[in-house]
């Protein structure tokens, strides 16, 4: 608790900046609800509670997007994460979040050079025969440069920007405090689970900060496509790669989706669209490990109509059960099977409270809207958007691992249609689904599943005597426990916990005051301003503890 108090005091300047921006863009009510305004005003930081007339006339999605842009890289990336939450936000919000890009000025190479020397454990001139100091790309976390190794190999070097970890760490502290307060002060927000979103965001940023993680992703994809001459994955040079720098083979190819430009280069846009779709679908349905950002800048078109892929910072993973559910979903959609589709959605709903009758009706209505369409005319992107809208209307959230998948398939279909106006994603999905369904019912697969089921059943029977013995022993010793989830007691429990915390902090604070007073009367020892150092430290800690107790009591009186 003491550490949290000191953390809030340390982050006051950033809190003031965030609150000011949010108020200017018309989100003052949210600042009040979160209690940020009270903290800042008591700290003597005056807030101006008004927004310009021009800003107040903008739609809410535009205002939040502009506020995130002004708050800097961490919040821009938060907006990019929210752009994937098609299950939480309606389409016009998603459109605004998708406009967020990390447009940041490049850090001069002279500033990055000391970090590069430390990452390489030596002079870059000993590693690279040539190094272009003009960045190929600059983002909020890293910058990318072209270079040539001593053996003449062309490579790209991704380097982490200096000081970025401290900036992100401070912003994440603020976001975590805000998420907890949002759940506490706005009960309706709990179904969106803001604390989990921030936790997911923290993990995502941690992966982006660790450039070696991206290198491991590249190696994984390279193993999956090792025998495929039509797919090119860059090679990682591990002897020069770590968490701060990533050195990988440069892939030179055509970018962009202009069919005319590709034809002029001797490439076939129609064939490229088909191969690109098949490549990503293999990742999703066969490997369970897929590139989660296949936009035109990350997909390169190589001679002989080969596909090259770069930038593996964002990847998605699917377990085997989840892949089976995806196949079942796609199979149900292609056959317009209401019961099969409903079953998959119920599995995805988890423990959420759900009106099954309403969900079943919505599923039937959804499939009926596609009755008049031929299979080749069904757009996967529109269909997935309809499914997420259906889940949103039924207060269901998509499992986290499916959010990136839906976004990837929608992006992939858009890329294919730009390359080939006659591209139909469903034509490529159907053969994969049918092949996997057929594989499920081969004699070998049926025998394997049967053997697994028998083994599991035998294990349950074999463990039954032991489990009963443990149960009876615990009952005899009075150690049997029954867990009851009484949600109405949660609030009382939180109040009791807060009261005991305040009491404990009060006793500790009083002890610090008494102990520090005694130290003040003792001669000798280190001094500061003519007074005993340890006594001053004790009074300082007691002061911060007192602030925390006063603030906690004031907040409890607001409920």
Active site residues: 293
Contacts of 265-269 with C-beta under 8 Å, sequence gap 24+, read: 265/301, 266/303, 267/301, 267/303, 267/305, 268/305, 269/419, 269/420
| C-beta of residue 310 within 8 angstroms of C-beta of residue 345 | no
Measured between alpha carbons, how far is 442 from 255 in angstroms, rounded to an integer?
42
Helix 320-335 / helix 400-419 crossing angle, nearest 10 deg: 50
Beta strand spans in 403-536 (E): 527-528, 531-532
**DSSP secondary structure string for all residues of 151-199:** TS-EEEEEEEPTTHHHHHHHHHHHHHHHHHHHHHH-GGGGGG-HHHHHH
- Would you list the DSSP string of 384-425? HHHHHHHHHHTT----HHHHHHHHHHHHHHHHHHHH-TT--H
Nearest residue to 17 via CA among 31, 34, 2: 31
User: Going edge to edge, which strands form the sheet with 299-302?
Assistant: 231-232, 306-309, 299-302
Render the burial of 180-193: b for 16+ CB within 10 Å, e for the rest. Answer: ebbbbbeeeeeebe
Helix, coil or strand: residue 353: coil
Q: How far apart are CA 356 and CA 353, in angstroms?
A: 9
Tokens of 206: 């941690």
Strand locations in 45-113 (E):
none
CB 245 within 8 A of CB 235: no
Q: Answer yes or no: are the C-beta atoms of 11 and 53 closer than 8 Å.
A: no
Q: What is the DSSP string of 11-34?
A: THHHHHHHHHHHHHTT-HHHHHHT
The helix/strand/coil state of 522 is: coil
């Amino acid at each position: 608790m003491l550490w949290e108090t000191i953390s809030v005091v340390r982050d006051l300047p950033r809190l003031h900046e965030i609150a000011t921006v949010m108020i200017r863009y018309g989100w003052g009510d949210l600042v009040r609800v979160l209690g940020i305004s009270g903290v800042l005003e008591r700290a003597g930081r005056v807030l101006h509670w008004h927004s310009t007339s021009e800003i107040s006339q903008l739609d809410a999605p535009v205002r939040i997007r502009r506020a995130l842009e002004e708050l800097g890289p961490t919040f821009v990336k938060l907006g990019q994460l929210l752009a994937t939450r098609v299950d939480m936000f309606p389409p016009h919000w998603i459109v605004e979040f998708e406009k967020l890009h990390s447009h940041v000025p490049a850090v001069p190479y002279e500033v990055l050079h000391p970090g590069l020397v430390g990452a390489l454990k030596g002079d870059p001139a000993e590693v690279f025969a040539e190094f272009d100091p003009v960045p190929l790309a600059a983002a909020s976390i890293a910058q990318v440069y072209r270079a040539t190794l001593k053996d003449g190999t062309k490579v790209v070097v991704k380097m982490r920007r200096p000081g970025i970890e401290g900036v992100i760490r401070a912003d994440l502290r603020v976001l975590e405090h805000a998420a907890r307060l949002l759940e506490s002060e706005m009960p309706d927000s709990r179904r969106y689970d803001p604390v989990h979103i921030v936790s997911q965001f923290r993990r995502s940023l941690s992966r982006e900060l660790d450039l070696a993680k991206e290198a491991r992703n590249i190696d994984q994809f390279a193993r999956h496509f090792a025998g495929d001459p039509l797919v090119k994955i860059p090679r990682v040079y591990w002897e020069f790669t770590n968490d701060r720098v990533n050195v990988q083979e440069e892939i030179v190819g055509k970018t962009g989706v202009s069919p005319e430009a590709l034809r002029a280069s001797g490439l076939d846009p129609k064939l490229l669209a088909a191969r690109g779709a098949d490549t990503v679908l293999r990742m999703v349905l066969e490997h369970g490990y897929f590139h989660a950002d296949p936009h035109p800048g990350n997909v390169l078109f190589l001679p002989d109509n080969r596909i090259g892929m770069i930038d593996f910072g964002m990847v998605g993973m699917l377990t085997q059960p989840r892949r089976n559910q995806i196949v079942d979903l796609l199979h149900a959609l292609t056959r317009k099977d209401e019961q099969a589709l409903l079953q998959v959605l119920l599995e995805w709903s988890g423990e959420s409270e759900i009106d099954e009758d309403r969900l079943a009706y919505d599923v039937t209505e959804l499939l009926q809207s596609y009755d008049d369409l031929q299979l080749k005319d069904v757009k996967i992107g529109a269909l997935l958007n309809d499914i997420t809208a259906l889940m949103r209307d039924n207060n269901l959230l998509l499992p986290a691992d499916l959010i990136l998948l839906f976004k990837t398939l929608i992006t992939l279909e858009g890329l294919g249609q730009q390359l080939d106006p006659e591209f139909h994603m469903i034509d490529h999905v159907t053969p994969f689904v049918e092949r996997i369904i057929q594989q499920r019912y081969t004699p070998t697969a049926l025998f394997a599943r049967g053997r697994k089921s028998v083994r599991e059943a035998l294990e349950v029977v074999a463990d039954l005597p032991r489990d009963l013995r443990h149960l009876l022993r615990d009952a005899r010793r009075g150690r049997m426990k029954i867990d009851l989830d009484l949600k109405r007691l949660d609030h009382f429990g939180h109040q009791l916990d807060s009261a005991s915390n305040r009491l404990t902090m009060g006793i500790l604070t009083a002890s610090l005051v008494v102990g520090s007073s005694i130290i003040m009367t003792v001669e000798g020892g280190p001094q500061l301003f003519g007074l005993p150092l340890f006594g001053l430290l004790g009074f300082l800690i007691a002061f911060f503890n007192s602030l925390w107790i006063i603030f906690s009591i004031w907040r409890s009186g607001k409920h």
